[in-house]
Amino acid sequence: MEKFNRAVDEGRKVRSLGTLSRMASAGVAVLIALEFPDLIHLISTVFGLMMVYFVIMIDYLLQQVLHKKREKR
């Protein structure tokens, strides 16, 4: 955390494992769905992985609307 904070304070780019870990977990989920097609539906697995991003977008939009309403008060 200290290295991260220092890099942000200095305006340097920070390495992160966020994208790599999300891609790896999605890959593992798909591999499990392919290994057990009678138990796990592949299309539903992919759809479930994509839903996270829709929820994030909806949350962001709601937060923006609520923030604008608070500013008007």
Chain centre to alpha carbon of residue 64: 19
List pLDDT tens digits, range 31-68. 999 999 999 999 999 999 999 999 999 999 999 999 88
Three-class secondary structure of residue 10 per DSSP: helix
Instruction: Please tell me the predicted confidence (pLDDT) of residue 18.
Output: 81
pLDDT at 69 over 90: no
Task: Please list, residue by residue across 13-36, b when 16 or more beta carbons sit within 10 angstroms of its beta carbon and e when fewer do.
Answer: eeeeeeeeeeeeeeeebeeebeee
Instruction: Please tell me the predicted confidence (pLDDT) of residue 54.
Output: 95
Give the C-alpha separation, 45 to 34, whole Å.
10
Give the C-alpha separation, 3 to 43, whole Å.
40
